Amino acid sequence: MDLPAPVRRFLDAAYPDGPPEVETAVMESTGRFRRRPLPWIPFANTISLRPGVDRVSDMLVRIGPFTVMKVLDAFVDGQGITKFLRTADVGPEIDQGSLHAMLCETLMFPSSLQRVADLAWEEVDETSARMVVPFGDQNERATVSFHPRTGFPARYETPRFKAIGGPKVDWRVQMLDWWRFGPVVAPRRIVVAWADDPGPWLRQRIVKITTGEPVDGALERARAAISQARAKLPG
């Protein structure tokens, strides 16, 4: 795979001896998210990954000792799901959005870029490059901006469906404070925003990354949820 200069600089800075092969990983994080007009809600999150292929995000919202809400956000076998309270959203818009969550996380596990089918890179300028990935009947594109001093990824931006039946809106992920977690380097802080919102809707802090962890159980659970939800789609 031909890599643009900003991508090569990042890999040279983070992995002078080459990125490690990571087949599976589990990321643990905490943070806050917001669905306006609701206030900020604290969460704990576990993301089970086959980097570059599948991801399953299990978010738990707790008040005191009680778990009051579970949120499933997954991309498995090329299909996505967002399950929030009693609603399970699936379909083309969710597939597209979930794809980009997975692609953004490949930057934390660079060896997985080779597992993204037909991924191509385009150089934009000295500090940014564009990922191009065939998906469905079109190409999905995302621009990755790299910090001009450190060379590490600073922002991932792409037009993404914000709601089923709605238009695409620019989706921006800031990746801050890159840190070494065992064999991998990843941002300790992530801030996510929609371009048409007055501010971010998610603030996340990664606290632990473990590679080589078993993730089959999480993947099977997500597959079952996707299958069940898609069976209810009209037509």
Distance CA(178)–CA(206), nearest Å, equals 10
pLDDT tens column, 181-196: 999 999 999 999 999 9
Burial 69-83 (b: 16+ CB within 10 A, else e): eebbbbbbeebbbbb
The answer to whether position 232 is within a domain reads no
Question: What integer pLDDT is reported at residue 35 of this predicted model?
Answer: 82
For residue 112, pLDDT over 80 is answered with yes
Asked whether the beta carbons of 151 and 9 are under 8 A apart, the reply is yes
Asked whether the beta carbons of 70 and 58 are under 8 A apart, the reply is yes
Ramachandran class of 182: left when φ > 0, alpha when ψ lies in -120 to 50, beta otherwise: left
CATH number at residue 70: 2.50.20
Question: What integer pLDDT is reported at residue 97 of this predicted model?
Answer: 98
pLDDT tens column, 35-93: 888 889 899 999 999 999 999 999 999 877 777 889 999 999 999 999 988 899 999 99
> What average pLDDT does range 140-150 have in this prediction?
98
The answer to whether position 233 is within a domain reads no
The answer to whether position 235 is within a domain reads no
The answer to whether position 227 is within a domain reads no
The answer to whether position 125 is within a domain reads yes
Burial 30-45 (b: 16+ CB within 10 A, else e): ebebeeeeeeebebeb
The answer to whether position 92 is within a domain reads yes
Residue 173 CB partners (closer than 8 Å, separation 6+): 104, 155, 156, 157, 190, 191, 192
The answer to whether position 80 is within a domain reads yes
- Which DSSP string corresponds to 132-196? EEEETTEEEEEEEEE-TTT-SEEEEEEEEE-STTS-EEEEEEEEEEEEEETTEEEEEEEEEEETT
What does pLDDT average to over the chain? 96
The answer to whether position 144 is within a domain reads yes
Cα R_g (the chain), whole angstroms = 17
Distance CA(112)–CA(220), nearest Å, equals 21
Domain count, the chain: 1
Q: Find the domain containing 127 and state its range.
A: 5-222
Asked whether the beta carbons of 5 and 28 are under 8 A apart, the reply is no
The reported pTM is 0.96
Question: What integer pLDDT is reported at residue 189 of this predicted model?
Answer: 99
